[in-house]
Amino acid sequence: MSKIIIAIDGYSSCGKSTTAKGVAAQLGYAYIDTGAMYRAVSLYFHHHFVTLTNPKEVHKALSEVHISFQYNRMLNKSETYLNGLCVEDEIRKMYISDRVSEVSAIVEVRRAMVAQQQRMGRHRGLVMDGRDIGTMVFADAELKIFMTADPIIRAQRRQQELLEKGELIDLETVLANLQKRDHIDTTRSEGPLRQADDAVLLDNSHMTVEEQVELVTNLADQRISQVVRNGR
């Protein structure tokens, strides 16, 4: 059967990964969370006191960073590994969210991550979420979704997620972090967040996860049929 690439981009905390995971499960595709890769780099840079404005330090540190994903059968989810160590929980913490946009705006960091992401998708059959997937990483993706949601709703969802992991952060702080990240992500020079011309806009402020997964899966089925009929 013909396999496609589904690129899901959008603002921070608007449910991209939840939707992407659901769609990947429905189609039997792999799922790659590219935000986790930038978070893992940020974690490494933080622990190794890398000066973000020093290209030599950044270059050396990047050569020491090896990111992979491993499926955890017990938890039924894929987890992020940094140099062989599971960092899935650590990279979701607030101190990493506070730093990740600055780290991911560094051109050399982006080039290294984009190259790895392109290798991961060379056999297609993949759902990838991030900020520049439909515009840079896979500009030829057969299906592109651009997700957005009301900022207050996004902040509430993110606050709940952090709470479930034991971090109690007030709504204003969470909202400020989202707005700061949105600003850096949309205004950086390399791979800024923007809707690709051929992306489908999905505002999920008032949608359930099931509705989002169904909608994207239906679009994917249509695209797969088109590819089968007409080629890519």
- Dig out the tokens for 143 from the structure: 């299906």
**Which is nearer to ligand DC, 13 or 224 (by Cβ)?**
13
Q: How many other CB atoms are found less than 10 A from the CB of residue 85?
A: 10
The three-point CA angle 184-188-42 to 5° equals 65
**Which is nearer to ligand DC, 165 or 218 (by Cβ)?**
165
CA–CA separation, 214 vs 161, rounded Å? 23
**Which is nearer to ligand DC, 39 or 157 (by Cβ)?**
39
User: Residue count at the site for ligand DC (CB under 6 A)?
Assistant: 13
User: In 151-208, which ranges are continuous DSSP H helix?
Assistant: 151-164, 171-187
Indicate which single residue of 19, 80, 104, 204 sits in contact with ligand DC (rule: CB under 6 A): 104
Indicate which single residue of 181, 199, 204, 219 sits in contact with ligand DC (rule: CB under 6 A): 181
| Binding of residue 88 to ligand DC (CB under 6 A) | no
CA–CA separation, 83 vs 66, rounded Å? 5
| Binding of residue 12 to ligand DC (CB under 6 A) | yes
- Dig out the tokens for 155 from the structure: 């902040």
Binding mask 24-43 for ligand DC (x = CB under 6 A): ----------xx--xx----
- Dig out the tokens for 152 from the structure: 């207050």
Footprint of ligand DC on this chain (CB under 6 A)?
Answer: 12, 34-35, 38-39, 100-101, 104, 130-132, 181, 185
